[in-house]
Amino acid sequence: MKYIRSILAVFCFFIFGIGAVILNFLLFPFIKNNKELCSDIIHNTWRFFVNLMMFLKLFRLDVKNLEKIENKVIVSTHPSFIDIVILIALIPRSTCFVKKELAHNPILKNLVTSIFITNEVELDELKSESKKMLDRGFNVIIFPSGIRHRRDEFPKIRKGASLVALNAGKNIVPVKMFSDRDFLFINQPFYAVSDRCVNFEIEQMREINIADFIGESEIITKQRLTHKIEEELYGL
52-75 confidence digits (pLDDT tens): 999 999 999 999 999 899 999 999
DSSP for the chain, written as a single string: -HHHHHHHHHHHHHHHHHHHHHIIIIIHHHHTT-HHHHHHHHHHHHHHHHHHHHHTTSEEEEEES-----S-EEEE----TTHHHHHHHHSSSEEEEE-HHHHT-TTTHHHHHHH-EE-SS-HHHHHHHHHHHHHTT-EEEE-TT-S---TT--PPPPSHHHHHHHHHT--EEEEEEEESS-SS-TT--TT---SS-EEEEEEE-PPB-GGGTBTB-HHHHHHHHHHHHHHHHH--
Which range in 63-67, 96-100, 201-205 is most confidently predicted, on average pLDDT?
201-205
Q: How confident is the model at residue 236 (pLDDT cuts 50, 70, 90)?
A: low
102 vs 10, more confident: 10
Region 214-231: what's the mean pLDDT?
Answer: 90
Q: Rounded to an integer, what distance in angstroms lies between the CA atom of residue 225 and that of residue 231?
A: 10
Q: What pLDDT, on the 0 to 100 scale, is given for residue 78?
A: 97
Instruction: Report the percentage of the chain scoring pLDDT > 90.
Output: 83
Q: What pLDDT, on the 0 to 100 scale, is given for residue 102?
A: 85
- CA 15 to chain centroid: 20
Residue 21, beta-bridge partner list:
none
Q: What pLDDT, on the 0 to 100 scale, is given for residue 99?
A: 87
Q: Distances from the Cα of 100 to the Cαs of 96, 108, 138, in angstroms?
A: 13, 11, 21
Q: How confident is the model at residue 169 (pLDDT cuts 50, 70, 90)?
A: very high
CATH node for 2-234: 3.40.1130
Region 75-97: what's the mean pLDDT?
Answer: 97
Q: How confident is the model at residue 104 (pLDDT cuts 50, 70, 90)?
A: confident
Q: Rounded to an integer, what distance in angstroms lies between the CA atom of residue 84 and that of residue 141?
A: 8
At 157, which amino acid appears? I
Contact (Cβ atoms closer than 8 angstroms) between residue 131 and residue 167: yes
Region 98-113: what's the mean pLDDT?
Answer: 87
pTM of the predicted structure, to 2 decimals: 0.95
Instruction: Report the percentage of the chain scoring pLDDT > 70.
Output: 100
pLDDT, tens digit, 9 for 90 and up, residues 17-39: 999 999 999 999 999 899 999 99
Strand order in the sheet with 94-98: 59-64, 198-204, 172-179, 73-76, 139-142, 94-98, 117-118
Residue 94, beta-bridge partner list:
139
As to burial, measured by CB atoms within 10 angstroms (0-12 exposed, 13-18 middle, 19+ buried), residue 130 is buried
Is residue 121 scored above 90 in pLDDT? no
Q: What pLDDT, on the 0 to 100 scale, is given for residue 218?
A: 83
Q: Rounded to an integer, what distance in angstroms lies between the CA atom of residue 158 and that of residue 145?
A: 6
Is residue 176 scored above 80 in pLDDT? yes
